[in-house]
Chain A
Amino acid sequence: MNPKRRLFIRMVMSSILRRHSRVIVAMLAVAVGATTLSALATISVDVPRQMAREMRSAGANMLLTPAGDATGFDVSVVEEIADEVGPDGLVGAVGIDYESVLVNDLPYVAAGADLDAAHRLNPYWYVEGDWPAGTGQVLIGQDVAQAVDAHVGDSVTLSMLAKDDSGDSGSQTPGTGATGENGKEISNQDVSQAEAATSAETAVTVSGILETGGNEDGFVYLSMEDMTELTGEPPVFTVAEFSISVEGDALQQLADRIDADHPEVSADPVARLAQSDADVLGMLRSLMVIISVIVLALIMIGVSTTMMAIVTERRNEIGLRKALGADDRSIIVEFLGEGVVLGLIGGVIGAIAGFGLAQVISLNVFHRTVEAHALILIGTVVAAIGVSTLASLIPVRRAVDIDPALVLRGE
């Protein structure tokens, strides 16, 4: 290596290694700034993602219904689509077989489903009592419970209703058709004029009473096994609900892909929810960006002030170097060299500490870990070097204008 370059590196490193107290102050300023930046950036990227998953707990944002005139579709379709979406995007999925039933001789709609999956998909549902723990237990809506005077722990009798093909739908009381969030009918069976179709009866225990304020209050939720036993037919789904952690256009694209790949079903995003999610996430991202920019500005001021103080107290050294024949450029390069090294070390420390801080925040707030993003870590180090160098440049440019004769006389 060129002896001049070697001495340059030696001088820069000597300044950093032998001026412990000053360097630690400057490095801390840079590291604290980098920590804040790294943590904010990580949270800015990860929190909307976490929030998207949290918001998906508000229920399904995509519905699957039979295509064309079909009344149901194979249960395997739900698993296939769930696999296609993948664990990263899929928050929950449940297939439901809606059938008209008599509950203690009163007609209602029964929903046969994997109740654990339904619970995961709708964690906000209020249930008095417990969710069914297995077969032989049901969750009945509040309206049903009042009509049949059923309480938690009571036994009720379910039997199938005959399907009425006359087309005269009539009144829907006391049971009503199930309607999706987007207004799409997912169970339009009129249960008011129906009669018992089979003699098959199933006695089940009410494990909980469901109260959502929606259509669910008029349904009876039972396991697929109980539903199969009741219908005496192989299980089919009349609708499937998906909660998928993607937004806006991506959800529509996914629905289009499902339509193309699975002609037996029709996939439709719940438009109102998807748009609402996108709006909230958009606002959240904007907020995080604004906060990040403000914090970055504050960091720059803090680091600049520290670097200015440190460079200013080295006026004598700058004066001496000028007296020894250093031109302005070489002095600026030397001090910027120190700024780069300080920024590099402080940036690396800050980037790692910032990831740790983001991890702690995410664990405490969202109970989930955040992922390390290489781009954020590298960006933090580069930003720290940039801020540190820029912060050095201003006082150094001012310091090189000093008169070496005055400085060396102690004035």
Chain B
Amino acid sequence: MTNTTSDLLRLTDVSKIYGDLHALDHVDLTVRRGEWVSIVGPSGSGKTTMMNIIGCMDQPTEGTVMLDGRDISKFSGFDLTQVRRETIGLIFQQFHLIPHLTALENVMVAQYYHSMPDETEALAALDRVGLAERATHLPSQLSGGEQQRVCVARALINSPKIVLADEPTGNLDEKNERIVLDIFGQLHAEGTTLIVVTHDAWVASKGQREVRLDHGRIVETTVHDDAGAGGDEPAQSNVVMTGGTDQGE
């Protein structure tokens, strides 16, 4: 079922509790289609837990998660796998490429689990991230930046409704960081919804909205003007709200 409303993701009163620890504590967050949201916060603030819940790799202890019009908070593991396969593109800080497969094959693996592998499409995805000529290289033969670009190509190959990136530039040098962010900028311009978890203020500023987490709660939301347009200078920012909830704009 596809939802046509402007909200692609809505977290309502979501908590994730491990014993006495509230990794997420009554969080509300809404992400519109085509929006680029940055999630920032110190270590242990709940960023990764939120990413895992949005990425269908974990379930909330309390609250509801509406993704593309479906409440996934009570989905079984099998159903979550299906939603993840069809709706989400994942990018990791550690790249996580399969070491014995070439760049092209790593991209095609995502197609394999989604629908039908298509080498031409996979090559086009690699071309889009500037790696068409490195398609037959193994991950060990690629630089960190190139590996992350393969990850990006893999995340995009199935045209996901939302791309989740967990510290995508955390292991990259400045040059490769710019390349990856440029690609994100293009995706955003094409209407892809992006949620990027980062420690880097400059990377966070590229998003339209910056959500700050601390101790499992949203403590601040900042709206950036002219976000996603690239450039070296941080975008103009307006802090629009602080507290435990974020309702988007």
Question: Chain A interface (Cβ within 8 Å of chain B)?
Answer: 3-4, 6-8, 10-11, 14-15, 18-19, 316-317, 320-327, 330, 403-405, 408-410
Mask of B74-110 contacts with A, CB within 8 angstroms, 1/0: 0000100110111000101010101111100100111
Complex-state Cα separation, A326 to B85, whole angstroms: 8
Find chain B residues with CB under 8 A from A6 CB.
Answer: 117
Among candidates A11, A15, A316, A330, residue contacting B96 with C-beta atoms closer than 8 Å: A316
Find chain B residues with CB under 8 A from A11 CB.
Answer: 101, 105, 109, 112
Question: What 17 additional pairs, Cβ within 8 angstroms, besides A317-B98, A404-B57?
Answer: A3-B118, A3-B119, A6-B117, A7-B112, A7-B117, A11-B112, A15-B100, A18-B100, A18-B138, A323-B55, A324-B90, A324-B154, A325-B86, A325-B110, A326-B113, A327-B78, A405-B57
B58 to chain A, nearest CB (A): 6
Find chain B residues with CB under 8 A from A323 CB.
Answer: 55, 57, 84, 90, 96
Find chain B residues with CB under 8 A from A19 CB.
Answer: 100
B48 at the interface (CB under 8 A from A): yes
Find chain A residues with CB under 8 A from B52 CB.
Answer: 405
Q: A11-B101, A320-B96 are in contact. Are A409 and B118 (CB under 8 A)?
A: no
Closest 7 CB pairs of A and B: A325-B85, A405-B57, A18-B100, A325-B113, A7-B117, A405-B52, A3-B117
Find chain B residues with CB under 8 A from A317 CB.
Answer: 98-99
B110 to chain A, nearest CB (A): 5
B114 at the interface (CB under 8 A from A): yes
Find chain A residues with CB under 8 A from B138 CB.
Answer: 18
For the complex, count residues of B whose C-beta is within 8 A of A. Answer: 33
Complex-state Cα separation, A7 to B122, whole angstroms: 12
Interface SS of chain A: helix, strand, loop or mixed?
Answer: helix
B116 at the interface (CB under 8 A from A): yes
Please tell me if the beta carbons of A3 and B116 are within 8 angstroms of each other in the complex: yes
Please tell me if the beta carbons of A410 and B113 are within 8 angstroms of each other in the complex: no
Please tell me if the beta carbons of A408 and B114 are within 8 angstroms of each other in the complex: no
Find chain B residues with CB under 8 A from A322 CB.
Answer: 81
Find chain B residues with CB under 8 A from A326 CB.
Answer: 81, 113
Complex-state Cα separation, A11 to B112, whole angstroms: 11
25 contacts between A and B (CB under 8 A): A3-B117, A3-B118, A7-B108, A8-B112, A10-B105, A11-B105, A14-B101, A14-B105, A18-B138, A316-B96, A317-B98, A317-B99, A320-B98, A323-B55, A323-B90, A324-B90, A324-B113, A325-B81, A325-B86, A325-B113, A330-B113, A405-B52, A408-B94, A408-B96, A410-B94
B84's nearest neighbour on chain A, judged by CB, is: A325
Most buried by B among A321, A408, A409, A410: A408
B87's nearest neighbour on chain A, judged by CB, is: A325
Q: A11-B101, A325-B84, A404-B57 are in contact. Are A409 and B113 (CB under 8 A)?
A: no
Find chain A residues with CB under 8 A from B119 CB.
Answer: 3
B59 to chain A, nearest CB (A): 11
Mask of B122-166 contacts with A, CB within 8 angstroms, 1/0: 000000000000000010000000000000001000000000000
Please tell me if the beta carbons of A324 and B110 are within 8 angstroms of each other in the complex: yes
Q: A3-B116, A18-B100, A316-B96 are in contact. Are A324 and B57 (CB under 8 A)?
A: no
A322 to chain B, nearest CB (A): 7
**Among residues 156 to 188 in chain B, which have CB atoms less than 8 Å away from a CB atom of chain A?**
none
Complex-state Cα separation, A6 to B116, whole angstroms: 11
A10's nearest neighbour on chain B, judged by CB, is: B105
Q: A18-B100, A410-B94 are in contact. Are A327 and B116 (CB under 8 A)?
A: no
Most buried by B among A3, A321, A330: A3
A316 to chain B, nearest CB (A): 7
Find chain B residues with CB under 8 A from A405 CB.
Answer: 52, 55, 57-58
A313 to chain B, nearest CB (A): 11
**Among residues 25 to 64 in chain B, which have CB atoms less than 8 Å away from a CB atom of chain A?**
48, 52, 55, 57-58
A328 to chain B, nearest CB (A): 8
Complex-state Cα separation, A330 to B82, whole angstroms: 13
Complex-state Cα separation, A87 to B202, whole angstroms: 91
Please tell me if the beta carbons of B57 and A321 are within 8 angstroms of each other in the complex: no
